Copies of this chain bind each other. A is one copy, B any other.
Amino acid sequence: MTAIRKAACIGGGVIGGAWAARLLLGGIDVSMYDPHPEAKRIVGEVLANAERAYAMLTMAPLLARGRLTFSESLKEAVAGADWIQESVPERLDLKRGVITEIDRYADPKALIGSSTSGIMPTELQRDMKHPERMFVAHPYNPVYLLPLAELVGGERTSPETLELAKAMLAPIGMKGVILKKEIEAFVGDRLLEAIWREGLWLIHDDICDTETLDDVIRYSFGMRWAQMGLFETYRIAGGEAGMRHFLAQFGPCLSWPWTKLTDVVDLNDALVDKIAAQSDAQSGSRGIRELERIRDENLVGIMQALKGGDGGKGWGSGKVLADFEKHLWAKGGGKREMPDFSQPLRLVDTKVSAAWVDYNGHMTEHRYLQIFGDTSDALLRLIGVDFAYVEKGHSYYTVETHIRHLGEAKLGQALYTVLQVLSFDEKRIRYFTTLHDAQTGDALATAEQLMLHVDSGAGKATAAPKDILARLRPIAEAHARLPVPDGAGRSVGQKT
Protein backbone atom coordinates (compact mmCIF):
# COMPACT_ATOMS: atom_id res chain seq x y z
CA MET A 1 0.00 0.00 0.00
CA THR A 2 1.24 3.50 -0.85
CA ALA A 3 1.66 5.24 2.46
CA ILE A 4 2.69 8.63 3.78
CA ARG A 5 6.15 8.32 5.31
CA LYS A 6 6.50 11.78 6.86
CA ALA A 7 3.97 14.59 6.91
CA ALA A 8 4.07 18.33 7.47
CA CYS A 9 1.08 20.32 8.70
CA ILE A 10 1.20 24.02 7.95
CA GLY A 11 -1.36 25.68 10.19
CA GLY A 12 -2.36 24.11 13.50
CA GLY A 13 -5.87 25.24 14.34
CA VAL A 14 -8.78 22.85 14.86
CA ILE A 15 -8.49 21.49 11.31
CA GLY A 16 -4.70 21.42 11.05
CA GLY A 17 -4.44 19.95 14.55
CA ALA A 18 -6.93 17.22 13.71
CA TRP A 19 -5.03 16.38 10.51
CA ALA A 20 -1.92 16.05 12.68
CA ALA A 21 -3.81 13.80 15.12
CA ARG A 22 -5.10 11.56 12.31
CA LEU A 23 -1.57 11.23 10.91
CA LEU A 24 0.17 10.68 14.26
CA LEU A 25 -2.31 7.99 15.32
CA GLY A 26 -1.75 6.41 11.92
CA GLY A 27 1.89 5.98 12.96
CA ILE A 28 3.27 8.84 10.87
CA ASP A 29 5.75 11.49 12.07
CA VAL A 30 4.45 15.05 11.70
CA SER A 31 6.24 18.40 11.65
CA MET A 32 3.90 21.23 12.45
CA TYR A 33 4.48 24.85 11.60
CA ASP A 34 2.17 27.50 13.04
CA PRO A 35 3.48 30.78 14.48
CA HIS A 36 0.26 31.29 16.48
CA PRO A 37 1.15 31.44 20.23
CA GLU A 38 -1.70 29.07 21.13
CA ALA A 39 -0.91 26.48 18.45
CA LYS A 40 0.74 23.96 20.81
CA ARG A 41 -2.15 24.08 23.25
CA ILE A 42 -4.82 23.69 20.54
CA VAL A 43 -3.03 20.83 18.82
CA GLY A 44 -2.48 19.14 22.18
CA GLU A 45 -6.19 19.33 23.02
CA VAL A 46 -7.26 17.98 19.65
CA LEU A 47 -4.73 15.17 19.94
CA ALA A 48 -6.04 14.24 23.39
CA ASN A 49 -9.59 14.05 22.00
CA ALA A 50 -8.39 11.94 19.11
CA GLU A 51 -6.52 9.50 21.36
CA ARG A 52 -9.57 9.12 23.54
CA ALA A 53 -11.71 8.40 20.46
CA TYR A 54 -9.25 5.87 18.99
CA ALA A 55 -9.10 3.98 22.28
CA MET A 56 -12.84 3.38 21.86
CA LEU A 57 -12.82 3.02 18.08
CA THR A 58 -10.95 -0.19 17.60
CA MET A 59 -9.47 -3.13 19.40
CA ALA A 60 -7.01 -3.63 16.56
CA PRO A 61 -3.47 -2.90 17.75
CA LEU A 62 -2.87 0.81 17.15
CA LEU A 63 0.44 1.68 15.61
CA ALA A 64 3.11 3.29 17.72
CA ARG A 65 2.15 6.96 17.62
CA GLY A 66 4.17 9.11 15.22
CA ARG A 67 6.49 11.81 16.56
CA LEU A 68 5.14 15.37 16.61
CA THR A 69 7.61 18.21 16.27
CA PHE A 70 6.90 21.92 16.14
CA SER A 71 9.15 23.58 13.58
CA GLU A 72 10.55 27.09 13.76
CA SER A 73 9.91 27.77 10.10
CA LEU A 74 7.86 26.51 7.18
CA LYS A 75 11.06 25.54 5.40
CA GLU A 76 12.15 23.36 8.31
CA ALA A 77 8.70 21.79 8.63
CA VAL A 78 8.39 20.62 5.03
CA ALA A 79 11.91 19.18 4.83
CA GLY A 80 11.71 15.46 4.10
CA ALA A 81 7.90 15.36 4.07
CA ASP A 82 6.09 13.48 1.30
CA TRP A 83 2.65 14.87 2.27
CA ILE A 84 2.19 18.51 3.21
CA GLN A 85 -1.21 19.70 4.36
CA GLU A 86 -1.99 23.42 4.38
CA SER A 87 -4.67 24.52 6.88
CA VAL A 88 -4.19 28.29 7.30
CA PRO A 89 -7.12 30.72 7.50
CA GLU A 90 -9.55 30.90 4.57
CA ARG A 91 -8.16 33.87 2.58
CA LEU A 92 -6.97 33.43 -1.01
CA ASP A 93 -3.93 35.72 -0.75
CA LEU A 94 -2.75 34.09 2.47
CA LYS A 95 -3.31 30.52 1.30
CA ARG A 96 -1.75 31.15 -2.11
CA GLY A 97 1.30 32.69 -0.50
CA VAL A 98 1.77 29.81 1.93
CA ILE A 99 1.32 27.19 -0.80
CA THR A 100 3.80 28.97 -3.06
CA GLU A 101 6.30 28.96 -0.19
CA ILE A 102 5.69 25.26 0.50
CA ASP A 103 6.28 24.59 -3.21
CA ARG A 104 9.61 26.41 -3.01
CA TYR A 105 11.04 24.40 -0.08
CA ALA A 106 9.42 20.99 -0.41
CA ASP A 107 10.72 17.97 -2.29
CA PRO A 108 9.31 18.46 -5.83
CA LYS A 109 7.65 15.05 -5.60
CA ALA A 110 5.93 15.72 -2.26
CA LEU A 111 2.15 16.06 -2.46
CA ILE A 112 0.63 19.32 -1.28
CA GLY A 113 -3.00 19.30 -0.10
CA SER A 114 -5.01 22.32 0.92
CA SER A 115 -7.76 22.12 3.55
CA THR A 116 -9.67 25.01 1.98
CA SER A 117 -13.42 24.59 2.17
CA GLY A 118 -14.18 26.76 -0.82
CA ILE A 119 -11.29 28.20 -2.88
CA MET A 120 -10.61 26.59 -6.26
CA PRO A 121 -7.23 24.86 -6.54
CA THR A 122 -6.47 26.63 -9.84
CA GLU A 123 -6.42 29.88 -7.85
CA LEU A 124 -4.15 28.40 -5.20
CA GLN A 125 -1.59 26.83 -7.54
CA ARG A 126 -1.16 29.94 -9.75
CA ASP A 127 2.36 30.83 -8.62
CA MET A 128 3.78 27.34 -8.08
CA LYS A 129 6.77 25.87 -9.89
CA HIS A 130 5.44 22.32 -9.46
CA PRO A 131 1.69 22.79 -9.53
CA GLU A 132 0.97 19.26 -10.79
CA ARG A 133 1.29 17.86 -7.23
CA MET A 134 -1.03 20.37 -5.59
CA PHE A 135 -4.75 19.76 -4.92
CA VAL A 136 -7.52 20.38 -2.43
CA ALA A 137 -7.94 17.73 0.29
CA HIS A 138 -11.00 19.09 2.08
CA PRO A 139 -11.69 17.23 5.34
CA TYR A 140 -14.62 17.38 7.76
CA ASN A 141 -14.52 17.96 11.45
CA PRO A 142 -13.57 15.96 13.48
CA VAL A 143 -10.90 15.07 10.96
CA TYR A 144 -9.55 12.26 13.16
CA LEU A 145 -12.89 10.40 12.95
CA LEU A 146 -14.82 11.43 9.83
CA PRO A 147 -13.24 9.60 6.89
CA LEU A 148 -13.97 12.00 4.04
CA ALA A 149 -11.43 14.09 2.15
CA GLU A 150 -12.81 15.72 -0.99
CA LEU A 151 -9.98 15.60 -3.50
CA VAL A 152 -10.14 18.34 -6.10
CA GLY A 153 -7.56 19.13 -8.74
CA GLY A 154 -6.97 22.50 -10.46
CA GLU A 155 -6.17 23.14 -14.10
CA ARG A 156 -2.54 22.23 -13.60
CA THR A 157 -2.98 19.28 -11.21
CA SER A 158 -2.07 15.93 -12.78
CA PRO A 159 -4.71 13.19 -12.57
CA GLU A 160 -2.09 10.82 -11.13
CA THR A 161 -1.68 13.16 -8.18
CA LEU A 162 -5.33 12.69 -7.16
CA GLU A 163 -5.15 8.90 -7.46
CA LEU A 164 -1.93 8.85 -5.47
CA ALA A 165 -3.42 11.11 -2.79
CA LYS A 166 -6.42 8.82 -2.47
CA ALA A 167 -4.16 5.79 -2.06
CA MET A 168 -1.97 7.53 0.51
CA LEU A 169 -4.98 8.50 2.64
CA ALA A 170 -6.31 4.93 2.93
CA PRO A 171 -3.73 3.68 5.48
CA ILE A 172 -4.73 6.46 7.89
CA GLY A 173 -8.37 5.40 7.68
CA MET A 174 -9.51 8.16 5.33
CA LYS A 175 -11.73 7.96 2.28
CA GLY A 176 -10.49 10.18 -0.52
CA VAL A 177 -13.28 11.04 -2.96
CA ILE A 178 -12.19 12.55 -6.27
CA LEU A 179 -14.37 15.21 -7.92
CA LYS A 180 -14.52 15.42 -11.69
CA LYS A 181 -14.29 19.22 -11.89
CA GLU A 182 -13.29 22.02 -9.59
CA ILE A 183 -16.01 24.34 -8.38
CA GLU A 184 -16.11 26.83 -5.54
CA ALA A 185 -17.09 25.12 -2.25
CA PHE A 186 -16.81 21.71 -3.99
CA VAL A 187 -19.65 19.27 -3.31
CA GLY A 188 -20.10 18.94 0.47
CA ASP A 189 -20.21 22.63 1.28
CA ARG A 190 -22.51 23.30 -1.65
CA LEU A 191 -25.01 20.86 -0.19
CA LEU A 192 -24.47 22.20 3.31
CA GLU A 193 -24.96 25.77 2.21
CA ALA A 194 -28.22 24.92 0.47
CA ILE A 195 -29.65 23.33 3.60
CA TRP A 196 -28.19 26.02 5.86
CA ARG A 197 -29.86 28.77 3.82
CA GLU A 198 -33.21 27.00 3.97
CA GLY A 199 -32.74 26.33 7.68
CA LEU A 200 -32.13 30.00 8.39
CA TRP A 201 -35.39 30.87 6.68
CA LEU A 202 -37.29 28.36 8.80
CA ILE A 203 -35.89 29.92 11.97
CA HIS A 204 -36.39 33.44 10.65
CA ASP A 205 -40.04 32.72 9.83
CA ASP A 206 -40.67 31.03 13.20
CA ILE A 207 -41.74 27.74 11.66
CA CYS A 208 -39.66 26.03 14.34
CA ASP A 209 -36.72 26.66 16.64
CA THR A 210 -33.18 25.29 16.25
CA GLU A 211 -33.81 22.29 18.50
CA THR A 212 -36.88 21.24 16.52
CA LEU A 213 -35.02 21.63 13.26
CA ASP A 214 -32.15 19.48 14.55
CA ASP A 215 -34.63 16.89 15.82
CA VAL A 216 -36.30 16.72 12.42
CA ILE A 217 -32.92 15.90 10.90
CA ARG A 218 -31.53 13.48 13.48
CA TYR A 219 -34.65 11.38 13.95
CA SER A 220 -35.12 10.90 10.21
CA PHE A 221 -33.00 11.55 7.14
CA GLY A 222 -29.81 12.14 9.11
CA MET A 223 -29.91 8.44 9.98
CA ARG A 224 -30.45 7.55 6.33
CA TRP A 225 -27.59 9.75 5.20
CA ALA A 226 -25.07 8.38 7.69
CA GLN A 227 -25.10 5.19 5.64
CA MET A 228 -26.39 5.81 2.12
CA GLY A 229 -26.53 9.45 1.11
CA LEU A 230 -29.13 11.10 -1.10
CA PHE A 231 -29.40 9.20 -4.37
CA GLU A 232 -29.15 5.66 -3.03
CA THR A 233 -31.81 6.44 -0.42
CA TYR A 234 -34.12 7.79 -3.10
CA ARG A 235 -33.42 4.80 -5.31
CA ILE A 236 -35.03 2.66 -2.61
CA ALA A 237 -37.93 5.11 -2.38
CA GLY A 238 -38.56 4.50 -6.09
CA GLY A 239 -39.17 0.85 -5.27
CA GLU A 240 -38.71 -1.88 -7.85
CA ALA A 241 -39.33 0.69 -10.59
CA GLY A 242 -36.08 2.34 -9.54
CA MET A 243 -34.54 5.75 -9.90
CA ARG A 244 -36.44 6.75 -13.01
CA HIS A 245 -39.74 6.22 -11.20
CA PHE A 246 -38.59 8.24 -8.26
CA LEU A 247 -37.53 11.14 -10.47
CA ALA A 248 -40.89 11.08 -12.23
CA GLN A 249 -42.65 11.32 -8.87
CA PHE A 250 -40.48 13.77 -7.06
CA GLY A 251 -39.14 15.85 -9.94
CA PRO A 252 -42.13 18.16 -10.27
CA CYS A 253 -41.68 19.46 -6.71
CA LEU A 254 -38.77 21.49 -7.98
CA SER A 255 -41.04 23.90 -9.76
CA TRP A 256 -43.47 24.25 -6.86
CA PRO A 257 -43.14 27.48 -4.93
CA TRP A 258 -42.10 25.75 -1.71
CA THR A 259 -38.65 26.86 -0.83
CA LYS A 260 -37.16 30.29 -0.48
CA LEU A 261 -34.74 29.62 -3.26
CA THR A 262 -34.68 33.04 -4.83
CA ASP A 263 -33.99 34.90 -1.61
CA VAL A 264 -30.99 35.04 0.65
CA VAL A 265 -31.91 35.60 4.25
CA ASP A 266 -30.47 38.72 5.85
CA LEU A 267 -28.38 37.45 8.75
CA ASN A 268 -28.83 40.65 10.73
CA ASP A 269 -28.37 41.19 14.47
CA ALA A 270 -31.95 40.26 15.27
CA LEU A 271 -31.67 36.89 13.53
CA VAL A 272 -28.24 36.21 15.02
CA ASP A 273 -29.66 36.94 18.48
CA LYS A 274 -32.61 34.67 17.86
CA ILE A 275 -30.49 31.76 16.71
CA ALA A 276 -27.94 32.18 19.49
CA ALA A 277 -30.71 32.27 22.11
CA GLN A 278 -32.45 29.20 20.69
CA SER A 279 -29.17 27.34 20.46
CA ASP A 280 -28.41 28.23 24.09
CA ALA A 281 -31.81 26.90 25.12
CA GLN A 282 -31.18 23.73 23.14
CA SER A 283 -27.56 22.93 24.04
CA GLY A 284 -26.45 25.48 26.61
CA SER A 285 -26.68 23.06 29.53
CA ARG A 286 -23.65 21.28 28.08
CA GLY A 287 -20.25 22.81 27.40
CA ILE A 288 -18.55 22.52 24.04
CA ARG A 289 -16.09 19.96 25.45
CA GLU A 290 -18.97 17.77 26.60
CA LEU A 291 -20.72 18.07 23.25
CA GLU A 292 -17.49 17.15 21.49
CA ARG A 293 -17.11 14.11 23.71
CA ILE A 294 -20.68 12.99 23.03
CA ARG A 295 -20.28 13.61 19.31
CA ASP A 296 -17.08 11.57 19.15
CA GLU A 297 -18.56 8.68 21.14
CA ASN A 298 -21.58 8.67 18.85
CA LEU A 299 -19.41 8.74 15.72
CA VAL A 300 -17.37 5.85 17.07
CA GLY A 301 -20.58 3.94 17.78
CA ILE A 302 -21.98 4.62 14.31
CA MET A 303 -18.79 3.45 12.62
CA GLN A 304 -18.65 0.34 14.78
CA ALA A 305 -22.29 -0.41 13.98
CA LEU A 306 -21.76 0.05 10.23
CA LYS A 307 -18.68 -2.16 10.41
CA GLY A 308 -21.12 -5.06 10.80
CA GLY A 309 -23.15 -3.88 7.77
CA ASP A 310 -23.63 -5.72 4.46
CA GLY A 311 -23.36 -9.14 6.01
CA GLY A 312 -20.33 -8.37 8.11
CA LYS A 313 -18.27 -6.93 5.25
CA GLY A 314 -18.78 -3.37 6.48
CA TRP A 315 -20.80 -0.55 4.91
CA GLY A 316 -19.89 3.09 4.28
CA SER A 317 -17.74 4.48 7.07
CA GLY A 318 -17.88 1.05 8.75
CA LYS A 319 -16.17 -0.43 5.70
CA VAL A 320 -13.49 2.25 5.96
CA LEU A 321 -13.01 1.30 9.61
CA ALA A 322 -12.84 -2.41 8.74
CA ASP A 323 -10.17 -1.70 6.11
CA PHE A 324 -8.25 0.47 8.57
CA GLU A 325 -8.35 -2.35 11.11
CA LYS A 326 -7.10 -4.87 8.56
CA HIS A 327 -4.21 -2.52 7.94
CA LEU A 328 -3.54 -2.26 11.69
CA TRP A 329 -3.68 -6.01 12.18
CA ALA A 330 -1.36 -6.51 9.23
CA LYS A 331 1.13 -4.06 10.74
CA GLY A 332 0.68 -5.82 14.07
CA GLY A 333 0.97 -2.77 16.27
CA GLY A 334 4.30 -1.54 14.97
CA LYS A 335 7.57 -1.89 16.83
CA ARG A 336 6.32 -4.01 19.67
CA GLU A 337 8.74 -4.88 22.45
CA MET A 338 8.63 -8.49 23.63
CA PRO A 339 7.23 -8.34 27.16
CA ASP A 340 8.88 -9.76 30.26
CA PHE A 341 7.81 -13.41 30.38
CA SER A 342 8.68 -13.84 34.04
CA GLN A 343 5.41 -12.15 34.99
CA PRO A 344 1.83 -12.51 33.73
CA LEU A 345 1.60 -10.53 30.48
CA ARG A 346 -0.13 -7.15 30.44
CA LEU A 347 -1.82 -7.32 27.03
CA VAL A 348 -4.82 -5.00 26.82
CA ASP A 349 -5.34 -1.46 28.08
CA THR A 350 -8.79 -0.07 27.47
CA LYS A 351 -11.57 2.14 28.77
CA VAL A 352 -15.24 1.37 29.30
CA SER A 353 -16.93 3.10 26.37
CA ALA A 354 -20.47 4.43 26.23
CA ALA A 355 -21.63 1.60 24.01
CA TRP A 356 -20.55 -0.93 26.63
CA VAL A 357 -22.71 0.15 29.56
CA ASP A 358 -26.29 -0.42 30.58
CA TYR A 359 -28.62 2.36 31.66
CA ASN A 360 -27.00 2.35 35.10
CA GLY A 361 -23.56 3.04 33.66
CA HIS A 362 -22.27 -0.47 34.51
CA MET A 363 -20.38 -2.45 31.93
CA THR A 364 -22.62 -5.10 30.37
CA GLU A 365 -21.82 -8.74 31.15
CA HIS A 366 -20.79 -9.72 27.64
CA ARG A 367 -18.32 -6.84 27.33
CA TYR A 368 -16.17 -8.57 29.96
CA LEU A 369 -15.86 -11.47 27.58
CA GLN A 370 -15.12 -9.05 24.74
CA ILE A 371 -12.12 -7.73 26.66
CA PHE A 372 -11.01 -11.27 27.53
CA GLY A 373 -11.33 -12.14 23.85
CA ASP A 374 -9.19 -9.16 22.91
CA THR A 375 -6.63 -10.38 25.40
CA SER A 376 -6.62 -13.81 23.75
CA ASP A 377 -6.06 -12.11 20.39
CA ALA A 378 -3.12 -10.16 21.81
CA LEU A 379 -1.53 -13.39 23.10
CA LEU A 380 -2.03 -14.98 19.69
CA ARG A 381 -0.38 -12.05 17.90
CA LEU A 382 2.55 -12.39 20.26
CA ILE A 383 3.14 -15.99 19.15
CA GLY A 384 2.65 -15.23 15.45
CA VAL A 385 -1.05 -15.98 14.98
CA ASP A 386 -1.87 -12.70 13.24
CA PHE A 387 -4.27 -11.63 10.53
CA ALA A 388 -2.09 -13.01 7.74
CA TYR A 389 -1.83 -16.39 9.52
CA VAL A 390 -5.61 -16.61 9.98
CA GLU A 391 -6.21 -15.64 6.34
CA LYS A 392 -4.11 -18.65 5.33
CA GLY A 393 -6.60 -21.02 6.94
CA HIS A 394 -5.48 -21.83 10.48
CA SER A 395 -6.36 -20.27 13.78
CA TYR A 396 -6.96 -20.88 17.47
CA TYR A 397 -10.63 -21.12 18.50
CA THR A 398 -11.86 -20.69 22.07
CA VAL A 399 -13.65 -23.83 23.19
CA GLU A 400 -14.16 -23.21 26.88
CA THR A 401 -14.33 -20.17 29.16
CA HIS A 402 -14.88 -19.76 32.90
CA ILE A 403 -15.56 -16.22 34.14
CA ARG A 404 -15.72 -14.99 37.73
CA HIS A 405 -17.06 -11.51 38.50
CA LEU A 406 -15.32 -9.90 41.48
CA GLY A 407 -16.27 -6.23 41.04
CA GLU A 408 -17.94 -3.84 38.64
CA ALA A 409 -16.54 -1.78 35.77
CA LYS A 410 -18.19 1.56 35.16
CA LEU A 411 -18.43 4.02 32.27
CA GLY A 412 -15.10 5.67 31.51
CA GLN A 413 -13.13 3.45 33.86
CA ALA A 414 -9.61 2.56 32.71
CA LEU A 415 -8.93 -1.17 32.69
CA TYR A 416 -6.10 -3.52 31.85
CA THR A 417 -5.66 -7.28 31.61
CA VAL A 418 -2.82 -9.62 32.55
CA LEU A 419 -2.60 -13.15 31.23
CA GLN A 420 -0.85 -16.23 32.60
CA VAL A 421 -0.42 -19.36 30.48
CA LEU A 422 -1.38 -22.37 32.59
CA SER A 423 -0.53 -25.21 30.23
CA PHE A 424 -0.16 -26.03 26.55
CA ASP A 425 0.44 -28.86 24.13
CA GLU A 426 0.69 -28.91 20.36
CA LYS A 427 -3.05 -28.32 19.95
CA ARG A 428 -4.16 -26.55 23.10
CA ILE A 429 -3.46 -23.47 25.23
CA ARG A 430 -5.05 -23.05 28.64
CA TYR A 431 -4.59 -19.62 30.20
CA PHE A 432 -5.91 -17.37 32.91
CA THR A 433 -6.66 -13.65 32.47
CA THR A 434 -7.38 -11.09 35.18
CA LEU A 435 -9.15 -7.82 34.43
CA HIS A 436 -7.94 -4.97 36.64
CA ASP A 437 -9.08 -1.47 37.51
CA ALA A 438 -6.17 0.60 36.17
CA GLN A 439 -6.36 3.12 39.02
CA THR A 440 -6.66 0.89 42.08
CA GLY A 441 -5.21 -2.30 40.59
CA ASP A 442 -8.22 -4.22 41.99
CA ALA A 443 -9.19 -7.39 40.15
CA LEU A 444 -12.68 -6.97 38.67
CA ALA A 445 -13.04 -10.30 36.89
CA THR A 446 -11.06 -13.36 35.86
CA ALA A 447 -11.33 -15.75 32.94
CA GLU A 448 -9.83 -19.18 32.51
CA GLN A 449 -9.91 -20.17 28.86
CA LEU A 450 -8.98 -23.07 26.62
CA MET A 451 -8.11 -22.57 22.94
CA LEU A 452 -7.70 -25.22 20.26
CA HIS A 453 -5.55 -24.86 17.16
CA VAL A 454 -7.78 -25.61 14.15
CA ASP A 455 -7.77 -25.99 10.41
CA SER A 456 -10.59 -23.51 9.71
CA GLY A 457 -11.53 -25.01 6.35
CA ALA A 458 -11.78 -28.57 7.64
CA GLY A 459 -13.20 -27.38 10.97
CA LYS A 460 -10.88 -29.81 12.80
CA ALA A 461 -8.32 -29.49 15.55
CA THR A 462 -4.78 -29.91 14.30
CA ALA A 463 -1.28 -29.44 15.69
CA ALA A 464 0.07 -25.90 15.54
CA PRO A 465 3.20 -25.42 13.41
CA LYS A 466 6.63 -25.49 15.02
CA ASP A 467 7.36 -21.74 14.77
CA ILE A 468 4.15 -20.89 16.64
CA LEU A 469 4.90 -23.47 19.34
CA ALA A 470 8.47 -22.22 19.57
CA ARG A 471 7.18 -18.74 20.43
CA LEU A 472 4.63 -20.10 22.89
CA ARG A 473 7.02 -22.39 24.78
CA PRO A 474 9.23 -19.79 26.54
CA ILE A 475 6.14 -17.94 27.76
CA ALA A 476 4.49 -21.12 29.05
CA GLU A 477 7.71 -22.32 30.69
CA ALA A 478 8.29 -19.02 32.46
CA HIS A 479 4.65 -18.89 33.60
CA ALA A 480 4.81 -22.45 34.89
CA ARG A 481 7.19 -21.13 37.57
CA LEU A 482 4.50 -18.69 38.80
CA PRO A 483 1.94 -19.77 41.41
CA VAL A 484 -1.35 -21.05 39.96
CA PRO A 485 -3.79 -18.14 40.17
CA ASP A 486 -6.59 -18.19 42.69
CA GLY A 487 -9.73 -19.44 40.98
CA ALA A 488 -8.06 -21.51 38.25
CA GLY A 489 -9.47 -24.99 37.72
CA ARG A 490 -12.70 -24.00 39.38
CA SER A 491 -16.20 -25.11 38.38
CA VAL A 492 -19.26 -22.89 38.78
CA GLY A 493 -20.41 -22.57 42.38
CA GLN A 494 -17.58 -24.74 43.69
CA LYS A 495 -16.86 -24.28 47.41
CA THR A 496 -13.35 -22.88 47.86
Q: A361–B240 Cα gap in the complex (Å)?
A: 28
Q: A190–B320 Cα gap in the complex (Å)?
A: 32
User: Is A158 part of the contact surface with B, judged by Cβ < 8 Å?
Assistant: no
Interface of chain A residues 276 through 306 with chain B (CB within 8 A)? 276, 278-280, 282-283, 288, 291-292, 294-295, 297-299, 301-306
Number of interface residues of A (CB under 8 A): 165
Inter-subunit contact A230/B214 (CB<8 Å): yes
Contacts of A279 in B (CB 8 A): 231-232, 235, 242-243
Shortest C-beta distance, A42 to chain B (Å), equals 10
The answer to whether residues A228 and B218 also contact, given A180-B206, A401-B402 and a CB cut-off of 8 A, is yes
Residue in chain B with minimal CB distance to A289: B240
Inter-subunit contact B220/A222 (CB<8 Å): no
Which stretch of A69-77, A106-114, A256-264, A465-473 is in the interface?
A256-264
Shortest C-beta distance, A36 to chain B (Å), equals 14
Q: A189–B202 Cα gap in the complex (Å)?
A: 12
Residue in chain B with minimal CB distance to A431: B492
Other A-B contacts than A225-B225, A322-B359, 8 sampled, CB-CB below 8 A, are: A193-B253, A223-B226, A228-B298, A247-B267, A254-B265, A364-B370, A366-B373, A368-B369
Inter-subunit contact A206/B230 (CB<8 Å): no
Contacts of A366 in B (CB 8 A): 366-367, 369-370, 373
Which stretch of A2-10, A333-341, A403-411, A436-444 is in the interface?
A403-411
User: Is A272 part of the contact surface with B, judged by Cβ < 8 Å?
Assistant: yes
Contacts of A210 in B (CB 8 A): 231-232
User: Is A175 part of the contact surface with B, judged by Cβ < 8 Å?
Assistant: yes
Inter-subunit contact B193/A448 (CB<8 Å): no
User: Is A160 part of the contact surface with B, judged by Cβ < 8 Å?
Assistant: no
Q: A430–B495 Cα gap in the complex (Å)?
A: 13
User: Is A92 part of the contact surface with B, judged by Cβ < 8 Å?
Assistant: no
Contacts of A306 in B (CB 8 A): 298, 301-302
Q: A320–B253 Cα gap in the complex (Å)?
A: 32
Which stretch of A24-32, A123-131, A144-152 is in the interface?
A144-152
Q: Which one of B192, B304, B310, B361 contacts A305 once the chains associate, using CB atoms below 8 Å?
A: B304
The answer to whether residues A219 and B146 also contact, given A197-B254, A309-B298, A365-B373 and a CB cut-off of 8 A, is yes
Interface of chain A residues 358 through 417 with chain B (CB within 8 A)? 358-361, 364-370, 373, 397-405, 408, 411-412
Q: A223–B291 Cα gap in the complex (Å)?
A: 15
Which stretch of A79-87, A93-101, A349-357, A476-484 is in the interface?
A349-357
Residue in chain B with minimal CB distance to A325: B359
Contacts of A404 in B (CB 8 A): 399-400
Q: A240–B366 Cα gap in the complex (Å)?
A: 38
Residue in chain B with minimal CB distance to A358: B312
Contacts of A48 in B (CB 8 A): none
16 A-B pairs in the complex with CB atoms less than 8 angstroms apart: A140-B220, A148-B215, A194-B261, A196-B254, A217-B229, A222-B222, A223-B299, A227-B298, A228-B291, A298-B305, A305-B305, A365-B373, A365-B398, A369-B369, A400-B405, A401-B401
User: Is A163 part of the contact surface with B, judged by Cβ < 8 Å?
Assistant: no
User: Is A183 part of the contact surface with B, judged by Cβ < 8 Å?
Assistant: yes
Inter-subunit contact B302/A223 (CB<8 Å): yes
Residue in chain B with minimal CB distance to A198: B194
Contacts of A184 in B (CB 8 A): 256, 258
User: Is A64 part of the contact surface with B, judged by Cβ < 8 Å?
Assistant: no
Q: How does the 8 Å CB contact mask read for A179-203 relative to B, with 1 for contact and 0 for none?
A: 1110111111111111111111010
Contacts of A205 in B (CB 8 A): 181, 183
The answer to whether residues A191 and B187 also contact, given A213-B231, A243-B279, A298-B306 and a CB cut-off of 8 A, is no
Inter-subunit contact B298/A146 (CB<8 Å): no
Q: A232–B230 Cα gap in the complex (Å)?
A: 22
Shortest C-beta distance, A92 to chain B (Å), equals 12
Inter-subunit contact B301/A259 (CB<8 Å): no
Q: A459–B490 Cα gap in the complex (Å)?
A: 24
Residue in chain B with minimal CB distance to A412: B311
Contacts of A187 in B (CB 8 A): 202, 207-208, 212-213, 216
Interface centre among A307, A314, A354, A358 (most CB of B within 10 A): A354
Inter-subunit contact A493/B276 (CB<8 Å): no
Q: Which 9 A-B pairs have the closest CB atoms?
A: A214-B229, A301-B305, A222-B225, A308-B355, A226-B226, A148-B219, A194-B198, A140-B220, A148-B220
